[in-house]
Every structure is written in C-alpha cells, then in structure tokens.
Amino acid sequence: MPTSLSLVDRMQEKAVLAAAVVSKVASMDEAIAYVADVCANKEACQILASGCAEPLSDTAEELCRTKQQKIVCAPDMPEDVVAKLAALCEERGIAVITKGMRKRLGGIDIALTMAAAGIAETGTIVVRSTDEEVRLATMVAETHIAVLPAGAVVADSYDLEDRMAEWMAGPDYTAFITGPSRTADIERVLALGVHGPLELHLLILEGN
Amino acid sequence: MQDAANLKDYRKQLREALENEFQRQALDKFAVAYRTSRSNAFAGIDAPELIAEIAAAKDAAVDHLPELFEEFKRHAEAAGTKVHWAATAHDANEIIGAIAKENGVRTVVKSKSMTAEEIHLNDHLEGQGLEVTETDLGEWIIQLRHEGPSHMVMPAIHLSRYQVADLFTEVTHKQQDVDIQKLVKVARRELRPKYCQADMGISGANFAIAATGSIGIITNEGNARLTTTLPRVHVALAGIDKLAPTLHEALRIIKCLPKNATGQAITSYVTWITGAVPAASAKDGKKVHHVVFLDNGRMAMARDPEFKQVLRCIRCGACANVCPIYRLVGGHKYGHVYIGAIGLVATYFFHGREKARNLVQNCLNCGACKAVCAAGIDLPTLIKEIHARIQDEEGHPLYSKAVGQVLKNRTLFHTMLKSARLAQKPVTGGTPFLRHLPMFLFKDHDFRALPAIADTAFRERWEKIRPRVDKADVKVALFSGCVQDFVYPEQMEAAVAVIASRPGVAMDYPMGQSCCGLPLMMLGEKKAAKELAAHNMNAIDAQGFDYIVTLCASCASYLKHGYKRLFKDDPAMAFKAAQFTDRVIDFSSFVHDVLGMADESFAGPAKDVTYHAPCHLCRGLGVTEAPRALLRDAGLNYLPAAEEDVCCGFGGSFSVKFPELSKELLRKKIDNLKATGATAMATDCPGCIMQIRGGFEHDGTTFEVRHVAEYLAERLKRK
Ligand code: SF4
Ligand code: SF4
C-alpha cells in the first residue's frame, strides 16, 4: 500500500514508474563511484552521441565529430567531490569537466547534479539550474545522474510552494524533472531521449 | 486547418477525412487507451474537486487580468525581463518581429506554442527573412509538411511512421528506416545544430505568475529548456489568460493537466523561468528576455458573462480526446487552429465567423467534452450558443427559421404531424416520418430505417388510459416529448403502467405541452427555443406537481439545465424556471430513487439484455445507476457493452445534417452491442431508440431495442 510507504520509498516507486533508474547510496563517495562505474561501463557504441549511428544530414553529422572521449560534467558541485570524481575517472580514461558545455553540444556521457528537492507524489526531482552550465549539462548529457538527499524529499509539489516563491524572487531557472526526456509524437509510441537525456539516474543519499 | 467555404464543401472534406483509414484507426486506438490511462492517473485523486478548484482560480484571475498584468510586469521587469501587451495578433507579430530586428536575429528556434499558431507567427517571421525551426518533434514534423497541428498536445497524431520516414528522408537526403526509435534519434540529431545556431528562442508559457513575474512551461521532450537556454534572446508568448496570481494556482493546474491530457502523472519537464538569467551567448552575459502577452479578443471574452469561462482552458486537449466527432475526422477537420470542442469555440473568437460557421454545426451535443474538461467549461452549450450567434449575425437559414416557426406553434406542429400520419397511410412499411418536417429536406438517410408516425398519439390515448387515484401522496406531470407522443406512444403507456403500480401516485398529462425546444437549440434558433420553453412552463403549472417525469433523456436534461439558462437574465421568469426545473426528473431515477421500486415489484424469466447510456442521461443528468439497477431488479441479465456511454450518433437534427458521421457512430454502436452476445437492448431515450433500432433494421439483424420502461412494464408483478 502506497500509504504505508515512507516518503523516500514512494519517491523511488514513482520515479521508477517514470522510467528513472533509482538507487540508494550511503555517502557522496558511493555516489561518485557509481558515476564512474556507469560511465566506464557504457557500451562502446554509446560513446557516440545519440543518433550518430543513424543516417544524418551533413550539418547534423558535423556535430557528432565534436565528441571524442567519454566525458562527465559535474557543474556546480563541491570542489572536493569534483576532485574525487576526477581522480576516479582519470584512471579509466574519462574526462571530468565542470564547464564549457556550449562547446559540447554534440553530447556528453554524464551530467552529475545535486537535486534541491524531490517530490514523492510523482517521483520528480527539482533541479535549480540558474547556472547555465547546469542547465546545459542536464540537457546535453545522455545520462543525467542526480543526487537527491533523502531529507529533501517532500510529499507533493504543494509543499514546495513557499520555497519556490523565494527562489523566484529574483532571476531564476528551476526545473522539475521526472524521468528521462520523452516523446510519443510519432504514432503515440514512447521514445526516450528525444532532446534531453536518454536516461535519468537518481541516487538517493541517505543519512546526512 | 478547416477552411471550407460552405456546409456542402465542409461535408465533402469530412467524407474525405472519413476515408483516411490510418487516422481513423490511430484515433480510435487512442480514444480507447486514453480512457484507461486517464482514470488510472486520477486514481486516488478527487478529480471533480481539483477541476472545481482550477475553475474557481481561473475565474478569479480572469476578472483581474489588467491588474495581474501590471503586477507581473513590475516583478518581471525588476528581474530584467521586458514585458509587452499585444492587443491583436498583428501587434504580437510586430512586437516579436521588432525584437528580432533590434537584436540582429537571423535564426529562430521555437518550442511548442498554440498561441504562436493562433497568430501565425512563423509566417510573419519568415516573411521578415528569418529562419524559424520548430523543435517539438510533432511540431517540427508538421512544419516540414506545411500543415497545422491536428491535436493540441500531439500535433502529428494523424501521421504514420511511414509518412515521417519519407519526410525525414527528404530532409536529410539520406534513406531513413521506418523505425520510430530511430526516427526520433534522427530528429534529435537534426535539431541539435539548430539550437546551436539560433539567435533567438521562442516559447509559449503555460503559466505567467504575477507575484514573481515568472513563466512556467510544461514539456515532455525538454526542448523548451534548450530553446530558452542556448540562444541569446528568449521571447515567451502567452495569452493574457495564462496569468495567475501566484504559484499556488499553477501547481494545481500541473497536478491536473498531464493527467487529463495523456494520463501521465506529470510531464518529464516543468520549467520555471524568472527574469533574465545568465547566458554565455549574450553580450553582457545575461539573456535578453521578453514576455509578450496576447489579448486578441481575450479581454472582450473576459467581459462576456457567457463566454468568459473559455479563458479557463488550460489546453490539455482532453475535449478532443473524448469527442466522437474528432475521433472520426481528426483535428484538421475538427478545428481551425485550435481543435476539438474548445477549438470550435475558440475559432469563432480568434479566427472569426467565416472559419467557425461550419465547424460549430458539427457537434452532437453529447457532452463528452464537458464531462472531461480540466476546467469545467460547458463546451457543448457554448458551441450551440456560438451557432445561434452566428445565425443572429448573418441571418438564419430558411429551413431553420421555418422549423422555428412550426415548432413554437404547437397547434400548427401537431396538425402537421397528424397530416403526415395521414399522408403516410397509403404507403406500406416504414415511411420516414422525419421527411415530413420542413427541416428534413436532406438526402442520405438510407443508413437507418426510420419509424412511421403512430396511428394514435399518446395525447389521444391519455384520457382512456389515465389511472384514477383517490388519495394521492405524490403528484406527477408526465412530459412526453414529441417522439414519444407521436412515434412511440407505447413507451409512455408502459411508463404509466409502471408508475400506476405504486398506489398513491397521481399522474397528469397536461395537454398544452409541446416539443421541449432542444431541436431548436441544435439549429441555433435560440429565440424560438425560448418562446417554446415559456410555452411549456405555462402549459405545465409546476406548482401543482411534485415531479415532472419524462422518459426522454434529452428532454429531461434540457428541461432541467437548459430552461434555467434560457431565463437566467430575466428574474421573474428565472424564478418560474427554477420551480419548473427543480421538479424535472427522468423516468428511471423517478421509479428507482423516488418510488423505490426494486426486485419485489417484478417477475419474469431471465433474459440477456445490454444497455445504451444516452448522453443526456449519463452525462447530462449524471444518472448512471438507476436504469441498470432497474434492469437487474426486473430479473434481466444485464450485459455491459463496450463504450456504453459513447453517443449513438443521433443528436437530433445532427444526424440529418451530417448523415455520414451519424452513420459511422451508429455502426460502432451496433458492433459494440452485438459483441455482448445479447439480442436485446434497453435505453432511456426515444431518440437513441429511433437511431439504434433503425440501424439494426437496416442491418437486417434481429435485435430488440426498447425503452427501460417497456422492459419494466412487461415484468410487473400482477397484483
Ligand atoms: S458535445 Fe460531443 S460532439 Fe460536441 S464537441 Fe463535445 S464531445 Fe464533441
Ligand atoms: S477546453 Fe477543457 S478539456 Fe479542452 S483543452 Fe481546454 S481545459 Fe482541456
């Protein structure tokens, strides 16, 4: 029964329903290891920016050449996290960057972000992306991995009203993200990853 | 885009649309799947309450649009956004064109915006020499095909993967595979460079929050995030009806919109943008940000007591999803730019009478749209209202005026019906009685056999059969409606027998009653309909009765809701109308809920029977349980049919104006009824009986089609 589930379990259940991949992690270190693993284990062909394998017009083809290496982008993450991630990735030949997304529009492998809140009712994460690098990373990456502190999960969007109103008091760009980018515009057949990430991973960070 | 010059051309276009097998199947599949996904999405949520909350919030906002605009402007400008008010579509185009010019814009990417479709923004910008690319997959596809959307949420729902593959082959100059997943990836890659190159991004806005000057955009693909992020200029175009005081109202709408649109709990992305946010591509590192609000007739609508509810619309598209007509002919024939039920209404206001004239006639008044609307808009009534307005503005067609003249004169109408009865005498078999009314001069009726007029009308039988009651506890006036009076008097007789089986119920049949007037509303003859309503309210002195019982779902629903509406601006009559309508009740509810008749009243052998739920009973009056319970209580084995509450296609004069559509709806109905395995059907409306029985007769299938009252009467326990 959903009513007997804790908020976090409900969050997980609903996010999975929206096609997100959800795991619980005990620490930031665990999250970092997860990111490095996902990136390292991506199939060779998935190093290609999504769609590159299809027959494309010459202009669209052009953009694919901008991608030569596996890349993780971790914009707006604490320095120590980036440093640890970089160390872990380096040995596997993965580059870790924190900015310059405009030069990577062909696609990158992974964007790592922190979610400001989670909405259990729909399995939605709230990502503050006023920082343009965050906004772009979470759209350009093929896999978006978001770390969501368990304590930041609320029951439904109504609970966020006051906080959001505060954020919106000045220039602000906030996103509700629920599962990967999707479309059903052709024959109502669901296809994931039309403009944004093909996958959304949620790492629910337990404890403090 | 529907642009037929007259009704004849429009019907021709409709016939062509009917022949589009792919579209028909796609929309059928969607309509069936939508039902289930919507009800799953709303499981555990009080949908009517949420809808009422949205309606109330929208109404409150609509009364204060200028103030909300000022408040939005103040906050948005403080955060670096420039805010504009465009009085007309032309103004909005000019404003956006000027923004492009002053920023040296050459290429534009757009995320989906119905408002931009409304003002034909792309044409304007392209005329200015700009390159404009739609980035929503469906919108991009229809842009490449140079056509308009055929659904508000799924603009390319009318196209097959084969058509898309051909189109993409043309665009990329590479042979494309007919595989949807691959086609989507191709679009992803083809559109990516467009974002990189674009100088300006244009988006719509689902919300404009006055308290903070923020906009909210709902998408699944995420294209709005790229459109509003990569280019150095962002212009959001919003109807002024998108203004909401605070985030509070927007969050309620978000809870409802995706569920009502596609059965999704929420879309993948909801984007909130406040002010000019950082943008590396802009000169000073800050986005050039504009919000353009479009009036284009909305303010006039906001002041119109009848039509201001149109501004509640949150563009979920549900009213098309459930519309039986949309399902048959698709959005290009069921709307101009805005499609579906709301499209019929919006077209008149945003695109003019010319474009709306034919469209508004193509409505069954089945109420499916109203029942599903996320904002509780009374769409069918507004559609009829516009039809009436257009006729008032342009002059009424001769036939509809003539029908008005005949129907509002009871003596003339009844004399005509009687002479029609004489005229049909020498002819054997089912002479179509409808042909004897002046309005029914159309051809194409051969898809159903129509009944003849009965030898003795109910009104002529009444004195003989009326039960005498000494001590009455309940006083009932019977309202027969024309069809039961003149075509199916046996249904009335059955009802009298059922009601009379309860002691203490006194029945009267006030002879002065006439047609309820709904057919006139369907023809846009509102004035004549009003006269007729007043006539009936005089003929039946409501104060003398506890109930006014009718066996016709359409009459009942119209007497109950329509009469009140007709007189709402006339205090004296409004009072009288309230007295009248409060007493109106349908036969099944009266027998089941008021008389409390249950299984002990009936006896008879078991028999399989299926049921057709008349639109005006199940949605018009919200009566769903009473007739089914009565059938079961009467010892019948009720077998539910698929899509039981979908219109049979009768719709009164609708079936005469659009016989091809009526025929298709009837065919589906008959297939669903047959599929139950029963060979008998009950319902609560003589119009539905006329249509469905006629359909079976034409079909050559033996299938008993009768009124609930007839089944009950034959199973009454004799005392
Ligand atoms: S009343 Fe029925 S036919 Fe008319 S627009 Fe609504 S759903 Fe369609
Ligand atoms: S009229 Fe109602 S159902 Fe139709 S799109 Fe608008 S809100 Fe949705």
Tens-digit pLDDT profile for residues A134-185: 999 999 999 999 999 999 999 999 999 999 999 999 999 999 999 999 999 9
Q: Contact B180/A191, CB-based, under 8 Å? A: yes
The mean of the pLDDT values for chain A is: 90
Instruction: Choose, out of A122, A128, A181, A183, the residue to mutate when testing the contact with B (most B CBs < 10 Å).
Output: A183
Residue with tokens 């909405």: A119
Q: Contact B185/A50, CB-based, under 8 Å? A: yes
Which stretches of chain B score pLDDT less than 70? 420, 422-450, 719
Nearest CA to ligand 2 atom 4: B319
Residue B378 near residue B367, CB atoms below 8 Å = no
Burial class (CB in 10 A: 0-12, 13-18, 19+), A43: exposed
Please name which of B361, B364, B339 lies closest in space to residue B9, comparing C-alpha atoms. Answer: B361
Instruction: Choose, out of A5, A186, A189, A199, the residue to mutate when testing the contact with B (most B CBs < 10 Å).
Output: A186
Assign A208 a pLDDT band (cuts: 50, 70, 90).
Answer: low
CA B266 to chain A, closest CA, distance in angstroms equals: 7
Would you say residue A109 has pLDDT above 60?
Answer: yes
CA A155 to chain B, closest CA, distance in angstroms equals: 13
What does the pLDDT read at residue B416? 77
Q: Chain B within 8 Å of A184 (Cβ-Cβ)?
A: yes
For B122, half-sphere exposure in the C-beta direction (CA atoms, 13 angstrom radius) is 22
Alpha carbons B627 and B621: distance in angstroms, whole number: 13
Residue B551 near residue B688, CB atoms below 8 Å = no
For residue B376, the ligand 2 atom closest to its alpha carbon is 2
Q: Contact B221/A195, CB-based, under 8 Å? A: yes
B375 ligand 2 Cβ < 6 A: yes
What does the pLDDT read at residue B443? 44
Minimum-distance CB partner of B270 among A132, A176, A185: A176
Position with higher pLDDT, A106 vs B175: B175
CA B51 to chain A, closest CA, distance in angstroms equals: 16
Residue with tokens 């129907």: B407
What does the pLDDT read at residue A48? 58
Please name which of A107, A84, A87, A82 lies closest in space to residue A97, comparing C-alpha atoms. Answer: A82
Contacts of B246 in chain A (CB under 8 A): 161, 165
Q: Which residues line ligand 1 (CB under 6 A)?
A: B 322-325, 341, 363-369, 379-380, 383
Among residues 48-67 of chain A, which lie with CB inside 8 Å of chain B?
Answer: 49-57, 59-60, 62-64
Q: Chain B within 8 Å of A151 (Cβ-Cβ)?
A: no
Torsion, Cα of A11, A14, A19, A24 (10° steps)? 30
Please name which of B585, B589, B597, B626 lies closest in space to residue B498, comparing C-alpha atoms. Answer: B597
Residue with tokens 């007769």: B697
B318 ligand 2 Cβ < 6 A: yes
Q: Contact B193/A62, CB-based, under 8 Å? A: yes
> Angle at the Cα of B319 (from B626 to B359), degrees rounded to 5?
110
Contacts of B321 in chain A (CB under 8 A): none
What is the mean pLDDT of the segment spanning A17-37? 96
